[in-house]
Amino acid sequence: MPPAASQLALGGAGAVGGLAYAILCSLSGTLRPHLNFWFFSQLLREWCRGMVSAETRAKGVIGLLLAGVQRGSTLRRVLKLEVDHQRKVLEAGGADAVARDPTRLWNLGLAHVRTARQADEAAKKAGGGGAEGVGAGHGPVLRDLLLVGGGHSHAHVLLMLGMEPIPGVRVTLVTRDMETPYSGMLPGHVAGHYTKRECHIDLARLGRFAGARVVHAEVTGIDVEQKRVHLRSCLDAAGQDDRPPLRYDVISVDVGCSPSVQGLSGYDVLRTGGVGQSVATVKPIDGFSRKFERMVAGVEGWKGPRDVVIVGAGAGGVELALAVQHRLQEALRSYGRPPDWARVAITSRSKRVMPNHASAVSGIMARTLQERGVRVYPEHEALRVEAQDSGGEALVCRTPGGEVRVGFGECVWCTDGAPQSWMRELGLETDTSGFLLVETTLQARLPSGQPLQNFFAAGDCASIRGHPRPKAGVFAVMAGMPLSKNLRAALEGGPLVEYIPQQEFLGIIGLGRGGAVASKGDVALKADWLWELKDWIDRTWMWKYTEGLPKMGGGSSEPSAVARQAGTEALELLKKASMRCGGCGSKVGSTVLSAAMQRVQAESQVYENSEVLVGMQSADDAAVVQQKGSKLVTVQTVDFFKSIVGDPYVFGRIAALHALSDCFSMGARAQTALALCTVTLGSEAVMQEDVFQMMAGANRELRASCCTLAGGHTTEGPEAGLGFCVTGVAGGPEELLTKGGLQPGDTLLLTKPLGTGCIFAAEMQQRAVGPSVSAALRSMLRSNEPAAQIVSKHGARACTDVTGFGLLGHLVEMCRAAGQAAVLRLDDVPALPGAEELLSQGVASSLQPANFRLRRALRNEGAAAAAFSGGRLPRYPLLYDPQTNGGLLLAVQQGAAASACAAALAAAGEDFWVIGSVVARPADWHEGQFVTLEAAALSSAP
């Protein structure tokens, strides 16, 4: 359930708090009806039970209902009848009947809102949204819905799509940030009341729930006529991506706004290391959050008072100023410094703070700022940032008396936002500030005034024609429902609904260290308990998009009689069938593969060719062929797996890099590639686009490695898949790196961290966080070619790439081929962010159980298993995690050769970790034992 109302303790008096909330709701009429009724239900069920009289509860019911009566609609008439009914019951002495009948009001108030249980049922009915794979479970893809941006409106759209997918429609979310902040909680985050995770929606999880493909990229333009969105990848260094545009049938834009400081002299040097390095813009919020955390961390080094100037005295600037002051003062106290060293000031173009609010609100906030010691500079319009002769920087402002300078150590820009630069180039109608002008249906307009049937916009990036409103999060939140309905209508051919934002709304502004001010129109109220109310409202809203998302499972249908007869293994397989991993995690285990190929060799005669130097009898990564009379050798490898990520372009890149890696790890140069492509059924346009995106991504990586895409084969299938047969060349057998070159004393190096298997297993289950997914993608998008070229020139004796069998599996292959053993230092094995936490929670790739059978290769497997079971060796499962385009595992002669190899890798910017060494395999080891595991937890075992 959402945060319990029992946690409120409004002013310490339940009845007073409840009635105060009802009064606020009645005054405002702006809190969403379902929020009012949800609060009422919790008031009855959890908070007021046994604390408040039945009569008070009944009056609270009526007060909350009256809040909804002011909303002009059919709901008003229904609520009016309900109020009359409840009043009659109360007058007849039936207060207990009112209080004991929450179901009647619950159903009335939430008639148009799905509860978590309803959402769970809808998700199961529709295949769990994305539970069975992105875009799976809904038949052929006929139309593409593209959501640009992960703002508040789109968060609601994704939630609704997860609850009730649209058959035949594929959803794609394009987002620059994998975690989208809730603007209402940003000041609380700055003040230290919320962690980053508590005030951010994880778009990887929400997108998975919605069954959407998530494309981590930034929009650079939209071709409205051709229905194409141009992108710049957020997974590559700036300017290094040439990905093709994405097509759409229906598009919605919710990208917020950017800092409105382009006209500020000196702003152009903020990114070049000149004046202005102490200036932080509130938007984008993620960038501001990182810079502010550095500011707080720097408090430890303060030698005296420091001035922090907030530019902008609107509601956001004032709330942020109080939050910044509180956080910095708390940090100073923690270091034993005077809290008044944090001198916070606000500059305002107007004569008063919060000029767009009523004078009552402005007056309360002005007095609060004065009480807290926050200085206000009225009628100070910021012009530029300059360096001061005495050190530090100054904000040059225009005042009625001329230009003045306001010195600062840190400056935060919190003024009105500006539209994204590419919006002016869309050829669509905008308002005077450059924001998209939309109809009340949220459809964008052509310059002629004609609405575009397939182009929608909401949130701060849009302005509704005839209904101008300030850029406030409340409007973006409330636009989510009509936007969701209209996108569905546009795709299904239904009627559109109108959305006219309210002219007045209830605003609750936090005061930093506690308390809040609530206002609506000319009415304002300041109280400590209002912060508790704001906190509850914000946490409840966030809960719907985070912990409140229905959990995904592998299905609950009864197994068939055949499955029951087949036994436990079959039942377990059916249970997990819908959650099988993609990438290398979709491959069969090494025991299945080796057993099958041994049977082929034993029961079916394999043709022997003297030109094949390395074939099935070897565990190497590729076959090696040398034509008679030629010194050159040909290296051939093939790889294929189903999609691991929703973005087809990124999947194409990963698939190509993974296939090329076998060639690189053997020291060969890739020459040609033939593609094997599986595409899901859809309309001709959709299938063509899917093949194009996958192959365009693949060709980018093939081209970068001077490998020619020479052709391929396609087929339809239930899930997208891609693989390549790669042919490479080397100057001769002596130039190749094989797995069998290990020698005692060699140093073992690994060039990438582990964890892609468990991270993408968690992503399928809505348990992975966006930053972990992005880190894993960036790792998989790193080619092994540069590292392979370096190590082959600096004394590497053996090499392989770590892929489906996991680190231990591939190390065992090398040891077995060489007849040697290895010491593996688990504490030195690198892991991707979030991987260890997921493994400790039991999240694992569907291939990991097969890899785990290789534990018998550990000389001290019993001690390792005992330490893991006892909680002392949580990293142990990392050894069995299958990797997609994992790093190189190589052996270099210890000493000067190893040092030279490490230095060359470091000079080229290639990561590496020394994780162990090669030793002679003792004769008394049991067959199959090749590795001794070392770890601090093992050496200190009881």
Instruction: Note the pLDDT tens digit of each residue in 742-763.
Output: 999 999 999 999 999 999 999 9
Is the pLDDT score of 269 beyond 50? Answer: no
Element (H, E) at 585: none
- Block residue for tokens 């702003």: 267
* Token digits of residue 33: 């009806």
- Nearest 5°: phi and psi at 235? -100, 0
What local confidence, expressed as pLDDT, does residue 59 receive?
A: 47
Instruction: Note the pLDDT tens digit of each residue in 835-869.
Output: 999 999 999 887 888 888 889 999 999 999 999 99
Higher pLDDT, 474 or 227: 227
| Least reliable range by pLDDT among 18-27, 204-213, 230-239, 252-261 | 18-27
Conformation bin of residue 572: beta by default, left when phi > 0, alpha when psi is -120 to 50: alpha
pTM confidence score: 0.82
SS3 167: coil
What local confidence, expressed as pLDDT, does residue 87 receive?
A: 53
- What is the rounded average pLDDT for all residues in the chain? 83
* Token digits of residue 730: 């080397």
Averaged pLDDT for residues 241-269: 77
What local confidence, expressed as pLDDT, does residue 576 receive?
A: 53
Binned at pLDDT 50, 70 and 90, residue 91 comes out as: low
* Token digits of residue 635: 């290296």
Averaged pLDDT for residues 359-386: 94
First to last CA, the chain: 43
Q: Give buried/exposed letters for 902-934 (b at 16+ CB in 10 A, else e).
A: bebbeeeebebbebbbbbebeeeeeeebbbbbb
- Block residue for tokens 């290094």: 240
Averaged pLDDT for residues 729-751: 94
Averaged pLDDT for residues 144-155: 97
The span from the CA of 762 to the CA of 839, in Å, is: 10
Instruction: Note the pLDDT tens digit of each residue in 862-914.
Output: 999 999 999 999 999 999 999 999 999 999 999 999 999 999 999 999 999 99
The span from the CA of 486 to the CA of 494, in Å, is: 8
Give me the domains of the chain, ranges plus CATH numbers. Answer: 5-113+506-545 (no CATH), 127-257+419-492 (3.50.50.60), 267-413 (3.50.50.60), 563-589+738-942 (3.90.650.10), 609-736 (3.30.1330.10)
Its sign, for the CA torsion 445, 451, 453, 457, is positive
The span from the CA of 935 to the CA of 825, in Å, is: 6
* Token digits of residue 670: 């890739």
| Least reliable range by pLDDT among 263-272, 825-834, 895-904 | 263-272
Nearest to 880 by CA among 748, 739, 757: 757
| Least reliable range by pLDDT among 136-145, 428-437, 475-484, 514-523 | 136-145
- Strand ranges inside 681-795, DSSP E: 708-717, 721-730, 746-750
- Nearest 5°: phi and psi at 223? -90, 100
Binned at pLDDT 50, 70 and 90, residue 562 comes out as: low
What local confidence, expressed as pLDDT, does residue 84 receive?
A: 54
Averaged pLDDT for residues 188-204: 95
What is the strand order of the sheet 507-510 is part of?
Answer: 507-510, 516-520, 523-527
The span from the CA of 382 to the CA of 415, in Å, is: 10
Element (H, E) at 632: none
- In order of 39, 74, 98, 361, 523, the CA distances from 69 in angstroms are 17, 10, 18, 26, 19
Binned at pLDDT 50, 70 and 90, residue 408 comes out as: very high
What is the strand order of the sheet 796-801 is part of?
Answer: 796-801, 888-893, 746-750, 913-920, 820-825, 931-934
The span from the CA of 43 to the CA of 37, in Å, is: 9
Answer yes or no: are the C-beta atoms of 779 and 889 closer than 8 Å: no
Averaged pLDDT for residues 246-260: 91
Conformation bin of residue 515: beta by default, left when phi > 0, alpha when psi is -120 to 50: left
The span from the CA of 913 to the CA of 506, in Å, is: 55
Averaged pLDDT for residues 802-829: 96
| Least reliable range by pLDDT among 93-107, 388-402, 599-613, 893-907 | 93-107
> What residues contact residue 446 under an 8 Å CB cut-off, 6+ apart?
427, 428, 429, 452
Helix 102-109 × helix 74-91 angle, to 10°:
170
Is the pLDDT score of 515 beyond 50? Answer: yes
What local confidence, expressed as pLDDT, does residue 281 receive?
A: 85
Task: Work out the widest C-alpha separation in the chain, in whole angstroms.
Answer: 107
Averaged pLDDT for residues 706-734: 95
Is the pLDDT score of 534 beyond 50? Answer: yes
The span from the CA of 342 to the CA of 306, in Å, is: 6
The span from the CA of 251 to the CA of 226, in Å, is: 12
- In order of 805, 921, 928, the CA distances from 819 in angstroms are 19, 7, 11
Averaged pLDDT for residues 372-387: 93
Nearest to 281 by CA among 300, 298, 264, 304: 264
Answer yes or no: are the C-beta atoms of 300 and 335 closer than 8 Å: yes
- In order of 525, 530, 705, 711, the CA distances from 786 in angstroms are 64, 58, 10, 26
Q: What is the dihedral of CA 136, 137, 139, 144, to 10 degrees?
A: -50
Answer yes or no: are the C-beta atoms of 444 and 457 closer than 8 Å: yes
How many other CB atoms sit within 10 Å of the CB of residue 633? 23
SS3 sequence, 793-855? HCCEEEEEECCCCHHHHHHHHHHHHHCEEEEEEHHHCCECCCHHHHHHCCCCCCCHHHHHHHH
The span from the CA of 520 to the CA of 267, in Å, is: 36
- Block residue for tokens 């468990």: 758
Is the pLDDT score of 448 beyond 60? Answer: yes
What local confidence, expressed as pLDDT, does residue 289 receive?
A: 83
| Least reliable range by pLDDT among 514-523, 580-589, 652-661 | 580-589
Provide the pairing of β-strand 708-717 with 669-680. Answer: parallel
Instruction: Note the pLDDT tens digit of each residue in 111-144.
Output: 333 333 444 454 444 444 443 334 434 589 999 9
Averaged pLDDT for residues 813-825: 96
Binned at pLDDT 50, 70 and 90, residue 275 comes out as: very low
Instruction: Note the pLDDT tens digit of each residue in 598-647.
Output: 677 767 777 777 777 777 777 776 888 888 878 899 999 999 999 999 99
Is the pLDDT score of 75 beyond 80? Answer: no
Provide the pairing of β-strand 342-347 with 507-510. Answer: unpaired
* Token digits of residue 528: 């400590």
Which positions are catalytic? 584
SS3 785: helix
Binned at pLDDT 50, 70 and 90, residue 431 comes out as: very high
Is the pLDDT score of 147 beyond 80? Answer: yes
What local confidence, expressed as pLDDT, does residue 241 receive?
A: 63
Averaged pLDDT for residues 235-239: 70
- Nearest 5°: phi and psi at 314? -75, -175
Percentage of residues in the chain with pLDDT exceeding 90? 64
SS3 sequence, 348-404? CCCCCCCCCCCHHHHHHHHHHHHHHCCEEECCCEEEEEEECCCCCEEEEEEECCEEE
- Find the radius of gyration of the CA atoms of the chain: 31
Residue 709 β-bridge partners: 673
